[in-house]
Amino acid sequence: MHRSLPHKVLAIVDPTGDLAFAEVEGEQLARLFGEPHTQILLNDEATAAALKKRRASYLHFSCHGFYRWDDPLQSGLILARGEPFTLAQVLGELKLDTCRLVALSACETGITEVRQSPDEYLGLPAGFLQAGAPAVLSTLWPVNDLSTMLLIERFYQRHLQAGEDFPSALRHAQRWLRSVTAGEPTQRPFAHPYYWAAFTFAGA
């Protein structure tokens, strides 16, 4: 099973210091992967320079993201001190040949522009795939911090502990989040597709 393999995760966690549940997400990763196999770049440590120095089999971003419809190559992720790490930088500066999955636990990371160049897919998922990652988990719209943390934890549980492949683990996590209850059994706070349907998978 996957759990017995020495997978390593590099997590970029809350570079801007304003995501209430991002650190919890990082703690969950450390628990699931094991402390010796977890590298966390937290807050001001989460710089582009630090990111490019490290290699891991799983690259996880728990941060803010944005999409630039007017200039897709300037879309990106917000790292420490509010500095963007753009799609152009992903394409030009990252080598992800040892990476199995890039998880973009951030807003608007799965949007792709096809109108300006129908033969090209200009978006972060395509950028990370081109940089060498075989698989990318991303989002299609701004996502809720709490529900994202819960879904991500379930996703990694199903993948690492139950041995499910990425698409199956994501489907399981989405179904679980949609039906999870709070308080009364009839209260399903994350039943609306806004909370779970934003997450999408690309790659193999």
Residue with tokens 């059994």: 185
Question: Can you give the pLDDT at residue 116?
Answer: 55
- Taking residue 183's Cβ as centre, other Cβ atoms within 10 Å add up to 7
Q: Which residues contact 149 (CB under 8 A, 6 or more apart)?
A: 21, 22, 24, 25, 28
Question: Can you give the pLDDT at residue 6?
Answer: 61
Question: Can you give the pLDDT at residue 118?
Answer: 44
Question: Can you give the pLDDT at residue 108?
Answer: 83
Which of 141, 139, 134, 171 lies closest to 155 in space, CA to CA? Answer: 171
Question: Can you give the pLDDT at residue 7?
Answer: 86
Query: Model's pTM, two decimal places?
Result: 0.92
pLDDT in tens, the chain (204 residues): 344 446 899 999 999 999 999 999 999 999 999 999 999 999 999 999 999 999 999 999 999 999 998 899 999 999 999 999 999 999 999 999 999 999 999 988 888 754 555 445 679 999 999 999 999 999 999 999 999 999 999 999 999 999 999 999 999 999 999 999 988 778 999 999 999 999 999 998
- Rounded to whole angstroms, the Cα distance separating 88 from 86 reads 5
- Chain-wide mean pLDDT for the chain? 92
Q: What is the pLDDT of residues 160-184, one digit of tens each?
A: 999 999 999 999 999 999 999 988 7
Question: Can you give the pLDDT at residue 115?
Answer: 55
Question: Can you give the pLDDT at residue 2?
Answer: 40
Question: Can you give the pLDDT at residue 113?
Answer: 59
- Taking residue 9's Cβ as centre, other Cβ atoms within 10 Å add up to 24
